[in-house]
Chains A and B, each alone.
With several copies, the nearest count.
Chain A
Amino acid sequence: MNAETLRERTREFLDRNDPATTDRLEFLRARFDAGLAWVHFPEGLGGLGAERELQNVVDQELAAAGAPDNDPRRIGIGLGMAAPTILAFGTDEQKHRFLRPLWTGEEVWCQLFSEPGAGSDLAAVGTRAVRDGDDWLVTGQKVWTSSAHSARWAILLTRTDPDVPKHAGMSYFVLDMTAPGVEVRPLRQITGEAEFNEVFMTDTRIPDTDRLGEVGDGWRVAQTTLMNERVAIGGRPVPREGGMIGPVARAWRDRPEVRTPELHDRLVDLWVQSEALRLAGVRLRQQLAVGHPGPEGSAMKLAFARLNQELTGLELEMLGEDGLRYDDWTMRRPDLVDFLGREAGYRYLRAKGNSIEGGTSEVLRNIIAERVLGLPAEARVDTKVPWKDLPR
């Protein structure tokens, strides 16, 4: 499949399915069935078994024709994490059941991995799944779950064997979020909002047919999920001042009265670093495009978090009296999160999460040191002991 053939095929699809007259959902379903959803997926599962890069060709043609998209930001967890995992580990039946409504957005997915006692140390998860005939009974608590309150399905990491070392005793399931015993509670953050949820499961029944991968192989399945999460980071190109530097630079331009020499030098320094980070992202994508992905992704996330925090901290100092004020402490449950949204105080507080969510900066530094620089790992004390005997 080359670009020309694919472009031709997309145009033919558009001829058959006029976006102007077709119902949005019908259009998306038809697109999936035509293999134009994610062309690198297999035929019959929304794809054509083509190169991943060729997706651009389809997207351009469809966008030019004014076709609706599947609102990827809203269903990012399904697209970015659940789908590749189902593709890699799902049975044929699972793939056919889940992927189409996942892609069209008819069914929203969430991810149930982190727990209060298993954050950076994800392999310590303690949510217990106990075999009960053809089902599993699941009890435990998950945390930091976005979209849990709108999700139909979840990908779920559980402990099925506490008597073996922690990496060996996990299993991975698809959980029906409407099943009895699933309770979703909003988790309020320091911003006042609740972007995330806690999810409690109490004797929740999951049929064994909803297991992904072998019993005890959950860690390996989860690695696939997480690897795909990382790929998603730093994805799209950003224009100059497209990140957190944007609102801060605008505030500087708009308010001559707040300018001081000290703030000026700090701001220009952060501008320099922000632009260098953006260029590093451009460089990373250029490396990917020629098939030589560099190891800089983790370092970029580190810099992203640090710069967001320094910039927003500077902004409050710059605003002076206005920096003493907040826009609104009302508890809300936003569907989408925009780090740059709302006012300076919100940005300052929200940015604190950037060095925690999606891998803490501390864990990322370990990864860079060990996997990129090849520095020796520290001795592990937790890999040979049965999970139940670990100190916690």
Chain B
Amino acid sequence: MNLLYSDVEDQLRASVADLLADRAQPASILARCETDKPHDLDLWRTLTAELGAGSLHVPESLGGQGASAREVAVVLEELGRTVAPVPFLGSAVLATTALLGCEPADGELLGALGSGRTVGALAVSLATAPGSAFPSTVEYTDGVLRGRVRSVADAAAADVLVVPAVGVDGPTLHTVRVDQAQVTVTPAVSLDLTRPIADVTFDGAASTRLTGDPESALDGALWTAAALLASEQVGVADWCLTTTVAYLKDRHQFGRPVGSFQALKHRLADLFGELALARAAARNAADAVGGPEERVAALLANSLCSTVAVHAAEECVQLHGGIGMTWEHPAHLYLKRAKADQIALGTPGQHRRLLAPLVDLPAPR
């Protein structure tokens, strides 16, 4: 178990951070999220083409970078720190991991997703907790898909959807091209302005049925995503703490830097402590992906990190005072991301309930 960042990971982080510093400034993100194209697909193509961010944990044999979930986590941390509106979670984590769980995996599609030429999404509600029952709102009959999935992350940017559907012989998994009349993607008004969600309707849509075990492929995608989302939450929390500390050093009231007031210092010190625990838990979860402790590590990390991220974002808004309540200041983008992330892939309460039996803390009765 290595809870540090390796040199390779630090280099990856630096490259991603450099690019995002250049291309994902709060003002431009804010302007973009009010347009009808809230995803920054140019940035996404650069991230994938230049840094390989679209296929980090895809084996080299399938055209990927052959790295591990740890590197994916590092990128998520940076994306959390900038709330850059790229379809990383939907395409490079959820859809890609689901495809990797199929046997044999669709190397061509993985290659297209990895290159950024094609954007994918996994057609499940973003609120789905890992371990949930296989979704049944889409039916697979007569060779086509019918049904509806609400609140799909990054679907509005997707070219291809990975779709769980229930057929006559049980659960199935499909890839579906969005550019057909039988697929409708309707953007929802998303609380999280920088990770837009959309509702998807299938009305006799053509699909390619994936082989392998659809339940385990979907489950794997959700567990991996839950484990890694904790790193995004660490990134969000880290930005909030760092930004607040910087603001309070600068902001003066009563003739003093506001950051010299002890009550605020103590709150920030507590936040620093929460973040230290969150980071250890998130690194542990990334390290454990695919191993025997994956689920315990994922639930532990996600329940803790989502709580810490929300707390950090709420403190960020509060300690910025009035300016933190304005649309112009980026704090609200982080608050909205943190709160949506708390619900994404299950709430902390759901995670604790899933965790309890795994660590022999049985529920009452």
Task: Give A contacts to B, CB under 8 Å.
Answer: 114, 116-121, 124, 143-144, 187-190, 192, 249, 252-253, 256, 259-265, 267-269, 271-273, 275-277, 279-280, 282-283, 286-287, 290, 294, 296, 299-300, 302-303, 309, 313, 316-317, 320-321, 323-329, 345, 348-349, 352-353, 355-356, 360-362, 364-366, 368-370, 372-382, 385, 390-392
Q: Offer 19 A-B interface pairs, CB within 8 angstroms, sorted by A.
A: A124-B253, A124-B254, A268-B356, A272-B352, A275-B300, A286-B4, A294-B276, A321-B150, A323-B127, A329-B193, A356-B321, A360-B321, A366-B262, A374-B249, A375-B259, A378-B262, A385-B255, A391-B255, A391-B257
Across the interface, which residues of B come within 8 angstroms of A119, CB to CB?
253, 321-322
A390-B256 Cα distance, complex, nearest whole Å:
9
Q: Given A329-B189, A376-B257, A391-B252, A283–B322 Cβ distance below 8 Å? A: no
Interface residue tally for chain B (C-beta within 8 Å): 86
A324 adjacent to B280 (CB under 8 Å): no
A368-B269, A370-B265 given; A321·B151 CB < 8 A: yes
Are B343 and A324 touching (Cβ within 8 A)? yes
Q: Tell me if A324 and B127 are in contact (CB < 8 A).
A: yes
Instruction: Name the 4 nearest CB pairs between A and B, nearest first.
Output: A382-B255, A299-B273, A369-B265, A190-B332
The answer to whether B127 touches A268, judged by C-beta atoms less than 8 angstroms apart, is no
Q: Which of A268, A299, A356 contacts B361 (CB 8 A)?
A: A268
Residues of A within 8 A of B321 (CB): 119-120, 356, 360
Q: B172 at the A/B interface (Cβ < 8 Å)?
A: no
A-contacting residues of B (Cβ < 8 Å)?
1-4, 34, 125-127, 150-151, 188-193, 197, 245, 248-249, 252-257, 259-266, 268-270, 272-273, 276-281, 283-284, 300, 303-304, 310, 314, 317-318, 321-328, 331-332, 335-336, 339-340, 342-344, 347-350, 352-353, 355-356, 359-365
Inter-subunit contact B280/A290 (CB<8 Å): no
Which residue from A260, A276, A375, A381 sits with its C-beta under 8 Å from B364?
Answer: A260
Closest to A364 in B: B269
Q: Are B283 and A190 in contact (CB under 8 A)?
A: no
Is A317 a contact partner of B342 (Cβ separation < 8 A)? yes
A324-B344 contact given A280-B276, A381-B254, A381-B256, CB 8 Å threshold: yes
- Cα distance A22–B188 when bound, in Å? 50
Q: Please indicate the chain B residues that have their CB under 8 angstroms from the CB of A328 in the complex.
A: 189
Contacts of A118 in B (CB 8 A): 253
B335–A352 touching, CB < 8 Å? yes
Q: Identify B300's interface contact among A262, A272, A317, A385, CB under 8 A.
A: A272
Q: Which of B1, B245, B324, B363 contacts A261 (CB 8 A)?
A: B363
Establish whether residues A355 and B326, one from each chain, have CB atoms under 8 Å apart when the complex forms.
Answer: no
Of the candidates B245, B278, B340, B348, the one whose C-beta lies within 8 Å of that of A374 is: B245
Query: In the bound complex, do residue A365 and residue B325 qualify as a contact, i.e. CB atoms below 8 Å apart?
Result: no
Residue from A294, A378, A382 in contact with B260 in the complex, judged by beta carbons closer than 8 Å: A378
Q: Which of B266, B273, B283, B314 is the one whose CB lies under 8 Å from A362?
A: B266
Closest residue of B by beta carbon distance from A320: B127
B362: which A residues are within 8 A, CB to CB?
Answer: 253, 256, 259
* A326 pairs with B190, CB closer than 8 A: yes
CB closest residue in chain B, given A296: B276
CB distance from A303 to the nearest CB of B (A): 6
Return chain B residues, CB-CB under 8 Å to A366: 262, 265-266, 269
A362 and B264 form a contact (CB under 8 A): yes
Q: Are B3 and A282 in contact (CB under 8 A)?
A: yes
Given contacts A276-B277, A352-B335, contact A283 B4 (CB under 8 A): yes
Of A117, A271, A353, which one neighbours B359 at CB under 8 angstroms?
Answer: A271
B189 touching A325 by the CB < 8 A rule?
Answer: yes
Minimum CB–CB distance from A193 to chain B (whole Å) comes to 9
Partner of B265, one of A260, A353, A375: A375
Q: Which residues of B contact A362 (CB under 8 A)?
A: 261, 263-264, 266
